[in-house]
Chain A
């Protein structure tokens, strides 16, 4: 319509209209853009700059070059935090995806009960993290908790060096698996029935249908879920802080918690920023690798 006018027809009036429209565009974009630049882009650039300083929590500090980075490499606590983060991801990302898929396969076959059952699995996901941790602190309480009362166990789950991290992982799966169930159900329902029809005409059934049709067709959703899990678990903080505070003996200390400790409790803004930069790089790397894999897998 308007766009099909030849360039020759751009009268002064038309040009005025264009300019006014550009002005309107700026007015529409600026409120978001200013906040976005100020509160997301600027802190991201600044964290890189701070990582080369010995700044405190007010931002005042001197340039120290790579000192924070060399310290990081020789800091056993950093490696503990990195190792714990990776362990936590192993304990959550894959189990959470697998449990999500199994539950989705169970839920999707239901008829009238489907919405109710899905709601029950999804419900924990809408709760604030502190509610989740309060509830589980009570259920897994060493002395009067339901689990220990029923099983006779005396393990203090969140204070036990061996059990603390798996216990937090269990709580995390309970809290968030509904999200995966939901995405898997959407993925399962998106597979056209005709494919199953064709396959069963060819004599495929049971497990064979799952591995040759459901699984490959579900791969884009699966990889999306894995990516979201990976990114979320690298940023793990809330549950750990509330349930174990990183203890016992740093057994549940993760990267973001270490960054928080260094920054807000030790006033080491510069060193804390260095951990932040590492976190950011890892997440960017994961996103990039995953984007690559997904593109290849889904075509």
Chain B
């Protein structure tokens, strides 16, 4: 995978053929490398700018010329938003709902995919096509009937109303099925002859063999659930029930022109994702590639 292989890095392998990477590296030299690094730094500069703004006192945020580092290092924007907005509540809402979505998506998908891949039953092919068809159905297009349905079920402003529709995603089912299809049938049959039930076969043989994709899917699902905007925005109206990405957009206007506070709330919402990404970088990229259909 991209982050682990380093083609041509040590040129003494068994195959001397230079890869594309080495070929490109040889050609234009140091200048392009420097340019690439500068470009990458420029790319994250808006984030840096937002971060340092959040540590400036309000009057310094609009200083001209702008200061690249806070002249007065000030955390009052953070203490203000933590004291004057339900940001802690939103954190907890996000942690709870994203966690529940992640666990349930993986559990439901793994059960369904195992049956699709390993069990013979009537309607199996039909069901698989139905799941595949889900890729072409954008839930955004049917947001009105979805809202009407959730409203009828009495789940507007309810965590269940937030969670349940997000479980209807076919992607994890398809990925798990592809992975399970690669496992030899004999492996499961051997366990069955020894008297293991299907759940036992799934959880003690099939799932451990796919542990790495499970971890990657879990992280990608969690990030997607945490970052989801449209559905939480529509289904939650109570300020105290919002998730953090929706919440920070609601209070912004209450600050008026208060850049440090706005940036502080943005940073508060961003930090968990940045940390998750930096900690699990390889898992995130693997999960992204699996869910995009590339692997």
Contact = CB atoms under 8 A, between A and B. Distances in A.
Contact of B127 (A33, A38, A186, A238): A33
B207 interface: no
A135 B144 contact: no
Nearest to A270: B144
Given A110-B36, A131-B248, A214 B20 contact: yes
Interface in B162-189: 164-165, 167-168, 170, 173, 185-186, 189
- For chain B, the bracket of interface size reads 35 or more
B263 A224 contact: no
B25 A138 contact: no
A123 B46 CA distance: 12
B166 to A, nearest CB: 8
Interface string A23-39: 01110110111011011
A136 interface: yes
B103 interface: no
B276 interface: yes
Max chain A C-beta neighbours (<10 A), residue from B44, B164, B229, B278: B229
Nearest to A275: B141
A73 interface: no
Interface string B224-265: 001101100010000000001110110010000001001101
A126 B121 contact: no
Given A130-B269, A196-B20, A209-B23, A119 B281 contact: yes
Interface string B179-206: 0000001100100110001110000000
A191 B41 CA distance: 29
Interface in A194-228: 194, 196-197, 206, 209, 214, 221, 224, 228
A131 B131 CA distance: 33
A276 to B, nearest CB: 4
Contact of B145 (A33, A110, A122, A273): A273
Nearest to B140: A235
B2 A263 contact: no
Interface string B144-161: 111111011000000000
B84 interface: no
A179 B1 CA distance: 15
Contact of B285 (A136, A182, A224): A182
A61 to B, nearest CB: 11
Instruction: Give the interface SS of chain B, mostly helix, strand, loop or mixed.
Output: helix
Instruction: Give the interface SS of chain A, mostly helix, strand, loop or mixed.
Output: helix
Contact of B185 (A1, A111, A272): A1
Nearest to A177: B43
B167 A131 contact: no
Given A129-B227, A280-B141, A35 B168 contact: yes
Contact of A231 (B17, B109, B120, B138): B138
B209 interface: no
A284 B135 CA distance: 9
Contacts of B151: 57-58
B141 A182 contact: no
B143 interface: yes
Contacts of B111: 28-29, 31-32
A3 B193 CA distance: 13
A284 B288 contact: no
A18 B246 CA distance: 49
A121 interface: yes
A247 interface: no
Interface in A94-126: 103, 105-111, 113-124, 126
A156 interface: no
A251 B189 CA distance: 62
Interface in A225-256: 228, 231, 234-235, 237-238, 242, 256
13 contacts: A21-B198, A22-B122, A25-B119, A28-B198, A29-B127, A43-B142, A111-B25, A119-B277, A122-B285, A126-B276, A130-B229, A183-B292, A193-B19
Given A179-B292, A183-B292, A193-B20, 13 more contacts: A35-B108, A39-B139, A39-B168, A41-B134, A105-B24, A109-B32, A115-B3, A174-B46, A185-B2, A193-B15, A235-B138, A237-B230, A259-B144
Interface of B: 1-3, 5-7, 9, 15, 17-21, 23-25, 27, 32-33, 35-37, 39-41, 43-44, 46-47, 49-50, 53, 61-62, 64-66, 108-109, 111-112, 114-116, 119-122, 124, 127, 130-131, 134-149, 151-152, 164-165, 167-168, 170, 173, 185-186, 189, 192-193, 197-199, 223, 226-227, 229-230, 234, 244-246, 248-249, 252, 259, 262-263, 265-267, 269-270, 273-274, 276-278, 281, 284-285, 288-289, 292-295
